[in-house]
Amino acid sequence: MYTLIHQDKNSRARLGKLTTAHGEIETPCFMPVGTHATVKGVCQRDLAQMGAQIILANAYHVFLRPGLEVIEKAGGLHNFISWEKPMLTDSGGYQIFSLARLRKISDRGVEFQSHIDGKKHFFTPEDVVRIQETLGSDIMMPLDECSDYPSAKDHARIAMERTIHWAKRARKAKQRKDQLLFGIIQGATYEDLRKECAKEICGMDFDGYAIGGVSVGEPSSLIYQTIDFVKDHLPEDKAHYVMGIGFAPDILEAVERGIDMFDCVIPTRYGRNGTAFTSEGKIVIRNSPFIEDFGPLDKQCGCYVCKSFSRAYLRHLFNAEEMLGLMLLSYHNLYFFLKLMRDIRQAIKTNSFSEYKKEFLTQYNR
């Protein structure tokens, strides 16, 4: 399932390979997020051409729309969206806690009202596994309880213990051998809770391990600290995943600590709002300095957008409210992050990750 190929001699950064039913994934990797079974503004052909190895969909949203019956009749989620490469489905736990109009959480599961039509649903950990087995994703995530930030320790402990309890039930409920099931480590920002949860979850022999409950409003320094709490408890022969990280500096810090997988909506969300990520940091293309800037978004980028269009034209598209603008910036931003991961993998391979990280951040933060 996961093969450790090489570890950088000067850090914990790892080069690996994750094998799934729909193909192999070179790690460290970034997963474009297709919440509603679509990566916003970018078609599947373009995702494949720019080097996306795996995408993420959300079981909560797909369960509500179009529904499991439609997906099942289509022959699974891969067939429904015409994506032949690997796919990870998130359980939807975070969306239930953040989007549902009303929810009641118990050890048995979660009762909630749909944020779309108000209809009541009840998810148990077993239901969430069954839903994802119907979807046919390559990697499934179990139902977990994500703590808010900041979170009182007693509330964080309850959420952590419930996550462990649900993980055991999810592990037992899994039936399909062609799907991987990852465990999720919770515990908010508390070292003892994170370590306790890591020991319990890692003792269940999941196919990979995720650190959840980060990127929920805390500063980056606490994200790094949370990874540090649990990194020594993560098995070296399994994939390590931090959920929701999406800024380049945070990805580099996490890779340095031995993390293999990342996902975030940031590339497309920022792209839709006129912000581009470049080798010299973020730029807001709507701004007036770009009115007559006929250079590319990023001189060091080889993507279709940077080869074909000027900053002036992209600014025009946004200010004229043309949908092409948000599509092009979303494309460029995803290419930027996927190229970042390719460069990271090459640096690990040559034992030069620390030098690469320093050079990248020096230019990016200029």
Q: Which residues are catalytic?
A: 90, 263
C-beta of residue 54 within 8 angstroms of C-beta of residue 25: yes
Provide the 10 A C-beta neighbour count for residue 242.
25
For residue 276, which amino acid is it? A
Cα 258 to Cα 104, 121, 244, 358, distances in angstroms: 36, 38, 16, 17
Distances (CA, A) of 63 to 66, 71, 202: 7, 9, 28
CA distance 223 to 244: 11
Which helix (H) or strand (E) covers residue 122, if one does?
A: strand 120-123
DSSP 21: T
3-state helix, strand, coil in the chain (%, to 5): 45, 20, 35
The backbone torsions φ and ψ at residue 191, rounded to the nearest 5 degrees and listed phi first, read -60, -45
